Structure 1
Amino acid sequence: MGESEYLNITPQEDRSANMSTGGLILLGLQHTFTMFGATVLVPYLTGIPVNVALLTAGLGTLLFHWITKWKVPVFLGSSFAYIAPVVAVTTYYMQQGGLEYKSIQDAVQAGVDLRPYLAYATGGIVLAGLVKFVFGLLIKWIGIRRFEKLFPPVISGTMIILIGLILSPVAVNMASGNWTIALISLFTAIFVRLYMRGFNRLVPVIWGIIVGYVVALITGNVNFAELSTASWIGMPEMYLPKFSWYAAAAIVPVAIAPSVEHFGDVFAISAVVGKKFYEDPGMHRTLMGDGLATSLGGLLGGPANTTYSENTGVLAFTKAFNPWIMRIAAFFAILMSLVPKVGALVRSIPVPVMGGIEILLFGMIASIGAKTLINNQVKVEGKNLVIMSLMLVTGLGGAVFQAGNFALQGLGLAAIVGILANAILSLTGASDD
């Protein structure tokens, strides 16, 4: 397979080229707003301190950029894939310690210090990150050409479509809390991006948030309770991990699914930016960077990290690709972890405000996947039609492959199904039309 035969990607103009420092900072702040809701939701559900999650997201993003030679414009935030096993491990060790609570939130509200129990879960996260790192080494060993054969354009394009479609219910659920506010935010972002000129069209998300926030404020939909009680300076509540066979068995196998999903994220960001990041700096480096960022999160008492599709959606919307923008967003995340008052201000943004904007962002990711199929002239017939059909239904239909504590579903399951279907159909000489 020649280099030109894999993923026909069209180079894109970077609208942030030669931009002033002030402009880059504002664009970085836009990405901070975009990642914030999902990044703090994971610690809320697992009991991990929010400021630790923000700190490890920022540090993990910077580590990833270093590993990938500062070339790939992505932000790494808290991974949802590990929520269930982290909760299971934490609950298990709470019960071993004589504490009986129905949920993590009940324990938090009762004032229980979860860190001694969470430490076992974060120990599992450290090991899971190392597994991702080893997968990256394996990709380097087998070579990019052999890796590309596992992911022909019909699979990689469909994976990108699935990223957007799988996330779409999240956006709708967020918006459904107040559709009026959500739609105002959405239409503001669309108007700024399509009808305004100059720098403003590069920050449509910020304008959508500002207008949505003002409307929410006027209508009494903003809660300042947390902001009034938050302190100005506060060190993240970090703690060292603990290691156990139970936690390793529950959490380490989960690393398989995020590793497969990572391929889709890198294909998506490559299609959006118009650069083959899976070749330079290489899929092995991006996966190794993802793995080390996950292990760093666990070492500091935070959640696992993963590349964020929300921020990829912003890139597709704004076409501002300078990797420094993501690093600025990482600095803002670290700042918020050290200044609780700032974090509380961002958390005061009503969920429907972000939900309205994410309707557009997630839809754009799915559209980029369709564009990838078109650009690569993928014939939706015969073998390709079967592969796409199987991937779309398994990815969106709620199918789950369960084996003990290991579960594969969503994008990860769809990717495995696509790979196996492509291999079987190719070996058996299935028709392309």
Structure 2
Amino acid sequence: MTEQTASTISSPEYNFRLKDSLLGLQMLFIAFGALVLVPLLTGLDPNVALFTAGVGTLLFQIITKGKVPVFLASSFAFIPAIMFGVQTWGIPATLSGLAAAGLVYVLLGLFIKWQGPGILMRVLPPIVYAPVIMVIGLILAPVAVNMALGKTGDGAIQLINEGLALFIALASLATTIVVTLLGKGVFRLVPIMFGILVGYVLCLLYGLVDFTPVREAPWLALPNFVLPEWNWQAVLFIVPIAIAPAIEHFGDILAVSSLTGKNYVKDPGIHRTMFGDGLATTMAACLGGPPNTTYSEVTGGVALTKAFNPAIMTWAAIAAIVLAFVGKLGALLQTIPVPVMGGILVLLFGAIMVVGLNALVRAKEDLMEPRNLIIISVIVVFGMGGMAFQTGEFVLKGIGLAAIAGIVLNLILPDRKI
């Protein structure tokens, strides 16, 4: 990117300098483990995920005038929907649902610009979005356990001896926990990387890794881009799930604002950040990548390094785009055996559930108050039980139906103690 190009997204804080390139690489390193984990779990191409994370971050910077130091990459919130969609309708159809979910962010951005930021929390208070986030984490628990036991995510096929798989999974999990608790500096921000590394080394020692795909892959290659194919069922299934990450986006922007001392809700405006996140997600889905979201890990890196210059994220984005064209990198990532992933996912999926639980705790709501009890109960049981509503070809089920039910109940139930 030239100085002239950089000026198009300039702001008083944006300063594109060559000397910040290493800081940008460090930010990508922090995001890398989670970034590639989503496509590896869902059957998407990790090289495409790298490319769309980079392009999505640049797109976000353009829309937000280069004012917010965040990095956009693969969202965990959509993992169960992508897994189900790929198995049910295939990747192209699932991508149409993900693209539509990005447009929900765009519409939310326009709605916030019209009504003001407060409308988001009035329509989607913690009592609605928190249990939705909890369900996203809980519904994934069987996938993590199956993979930790050496099986495919659905548990249908035993890929590796159960005892050996469990040993490797627990080693990966233990390493991630130790680095999370005892790691210092930037190392504390990349526990996933260390967990995967230890598990991968153990798999090498036990001869569980096949490097044939790596040897056959070219050094330089176009990512395996996939175009979406319109599917109403996929769209109706996935779109409601956008509610939870939209609220998470709002929280992330507030976190970055408190970190830098800038009010990004007002300038460039939460409507712009939401709009940028939505367009980045739709763009990613149109190329075969997972939805994008602002990365809390990278925000932690910003806090640690005090590197508030948003142009550092430009360097991280450029590095991600360049790496996307390294064919052997994607092939190497896909050689990681399932128990390594399973061990990491035990913690990650549990963490998603805790994020939702923490939102309820911070809201200081009385969960036994009848109105709250009703909303949370319906959301959790609908989501976990796989409740479905179908009329003709119209189908709404699982997390999507749970989210819509929660919103409707919040709007129609009287806001008083019964």
TM-score, length-scaled by structure 1: 0.70
Name the counterpart of 1:114. none
Match of 1:176 among 139, 145, 149: 149
Instruction: From the superposition, tell whether residues 189 and 89 of structure 1 become closer, same or farther in structure 2 (CA, over 3 Å).
Output: closer
SS of alignment partner, residue 396 of structure 2:
strand
1:426 is the counterpart of 2:409 = no
1:389 is the counterpart of 2:377 = yes
1:141 is the counterpart of 2:141 = no
Match of 1:75 among 37, 50, 72: 72
Q: Matches of 2:339 and 2:135 in 1, distance apart?
A: 23
Contact kept, 8 Å, 1:336 with 1:343, in 2: the verdict is no
Instruction: From the superposition, tell whether residues 354 and 337 of structure 1 become closer, same or farther in structure 2 (CA, over 3 Å).
Output: same
Deviation at 1:212, TM superposition (A): 1.3
Deviation at 1:149, TM superposition (A): 1.1
Name the counterpart of 2:178. 191
SS of alignment partner, residue 338 of structure 1:
coil
Which is worse superposed, 338-347 or 60-69? 60-69
Q: Matches of 1:53 and 1:252 in 2, distance apart?
A: 21
SS of alignment partner, residue 414 of structure 2:
helix
Stretches of structure 2 that go unaligned for 5 or more consecutive residues are 1-19, 151-164
SS of alignment partner, residue 390 of structure 2:
strand
Stretches of structure 1 that go unaligned for 5 or more consecutive residues are 1-19, 91-103, 105-117
Name the counterpart of 2:197. 210
Once the two structures are superposed, the pairs formed by residues 37-76 of structure 1 within 5 Å of their partners are 37-42=37-42, 44=44, 51-68=47-64, 71=68, 73=70, 75-76=72-73
Instruction: Write out per-residue CA displacement over residues 98-142 of structure 1, whole angstroms, 9 at most, x where no aligned residue.
Output: xxxxxx8xxxxxxxxxxxxx6x98788766654652343233223
Instruction: Write out per-residue CA displacement over residues 205-239 of structure 1, whole angstroms, 9 at most, x where no aligned residue.
Output: 22212211111111111121111111011123558
SS of alignment partner, residue 389 of structure 2:
strand
Q: Matches of 1:355 and 1:326 in 2, distance apart?
A: 30
Instruction: From the superposition, tell whether residues 203 and 23 of structure 1 become closer, same or farther in structure 2 (CA, over 3 Å).
Output: farther
Contact kept, 8 Å, 2:386 with 2:398, in 1: the verdict is yes
* One-letter amino acid of the counterpart of residue 143, structure 1: G
Instruction: From the superposition, tell whether residues 304 and 142 of structure 1 become closer, same or farther in structure 2 (CA, over 3 Å).
Output: farther
Q: Matches of 2:396 and 2:268 in 1, distance apart?
A: 28
Deviation at 1:258, TM superposition (A): 3.8
Contact kept, 8 Å, 1:266 with 1:278, in 2: the verdict is no
Q: Matches of 1:124 and 1:204 in 2, distance apart?
A: 31
Instruction: From the superposition, tell whether residues 324 and 353 of structure 1 become closer, same or farther in structure 2 (CA, over 3 Å).
Output: farther
Match of 2:123 among 136, 150, 163: 150
1:36 is the counterpart of 2:33 = no
Once the two structures are superposed, the pairs formed by residues 285-300 of structure 1 within 5 Å of their partners are 285-297=272-284, 299=286
Which is worse superposed, 191-200 or 336-345? 191-200
* One-letter amino acid of the counterpart of residue 25, structure 1: L
1:414 is the counterpart of 2:414 = no
Contact kept, 8 Å, 1:159 with 1:264, in 2: the verdict is no
Deviation at 1:82, TM superposition (A): 6.0
Q: Matches of 1:132 and 1:376 in 2, distance apart?
A: 24
Which is worse superposed, 390-399 or 326-335? 326-335
Q: Matches of 1:375 and 1:303 in 2, distance apart?
A: 33
Q: Matches of 1:339 and 1:415 in 2, distance apart?
A: 39
SS of alignment partner, residue 401 of structure 1:
strand
Name the counterpart of 2:245. 262
Q: Matches of 1:424 and 1:369 in 2, distance apart?
A: 23
Contact kept, 8 Å, 1:290 with 1:305, in 2: the verdict is no
Contact kept, 8 Å, 2:51 with 2:320, in 1: the verdict is yes
Contact kept, 8 Å, 2:243 with 2:403, in 1: the verdict is yes
Which is worse superposed, 177-186 or 155-164? 155-164
Name the counterpart of 2:159. none
Match of 2:139 among 166, 173, 183: 166
* One-letter amino acid of the counterpart of residue 260, structure 1: I
SS of alignment partner, residue 232 of structure 1:
coil
Contact kept, 8 Å, 2:189 with 2:297, in 1: the verdict is no
Name the counterpart of 2:13. none
Contact kept, 8 Å, 1:176 with 1:352, in 2: the verdict is yes
Deviation at 1:164, TM superposition (A): 2.5
SS of alignment partner, residue 402 of structure 1:
strand
Instruction: From the superposition, tell whether residues 63 and 410 of structure 1 become closer, same or farther in structure 2 (CA, over 3 Å).
Output: farther
Contact kept, 8 Å, 2:209 with 2:336, in 1: the verdict is yes
Q: Matches of 1:325 and 1:351 in 2, distance apart?
A: 34
Deviation at 1:257, TM superposition (A): 1.9
Instruction: From the superposition, tell whether residues 297 and 364 of structure 1 become closer, same or farther in structure 2 (CA, over 3 Å).
Output: closer
Q: Matches of 1:399 and 1:40 in 2, distance apart?
A: 28
Deviation at 1:329, TM superposition (A): 6.0
1:337 is the counterpart of 2:288 = no
How many positions carry a matched residue from both structures? 373
Name the counterpart of 1:25. 25
Q: Matches of 1:209 and 1:166 in 2, distance apart?
A: 23
Instruction: From the superposition, tell whether residues 141 and 404 of structure 1 become closer, same or farther in structure 2 (CA, over 3 Å).
Output: farther
Which is worse superposed, 288-297 or 247-256? 247-256
Deviation at 1:347, TM superposition (A): 1.9
Contact kept, 8 Å, 2:171 with 2:198, in 1: the verdict is yes
Name the counterpart of 1:302. 288
Instruction: From the superposition, tell whether residues 121 and 421 of structure 1 become closer, same or farther in structure 2 (CA, over 3 Å).
Output: closer
Q: Matches of 1:196 and 1:241 in 2, distance apart?
A: 41
Give the fraction of aligned pairs with identical amino acids, expressed as a percent. Answer: 39
Contact kept, 8 Å, 1:260 with 1:412, in 2: the verdict is no
* One-letter amino acid of the counterpart of residue 399, structure 1: M
Instruction: Write out per-residue CA displacement over residues 152-209 of structure 1, whole angstroms, 9 at most, x where no aligned residue.
Output: 2322332333333233333223322121111101111111222344443333222212
Q: Matches of 2:299 and 2:395 in 1, distance apart?
A: 31
Q: Matches of 1:317 and 1:123 in 2, distance apart?
A: 33
Q: Matches of 2:40 and 2:97 in 1, distance apart?
A: 20
Instruction: Write out per-residue CA displacement over residues 332-363 of structure 1, whole angstroms, 9 at most, x where no aligned residue.
Output: 54234211011112222223212212222222
SS of alignment partner, residue 413 of structure 2:
helix
Deviation at 1:319, TM superposition (A): 7.7
Name the counterpart of 1:107. none
SS of alignment partner, residue 140 of structure 2:
helix
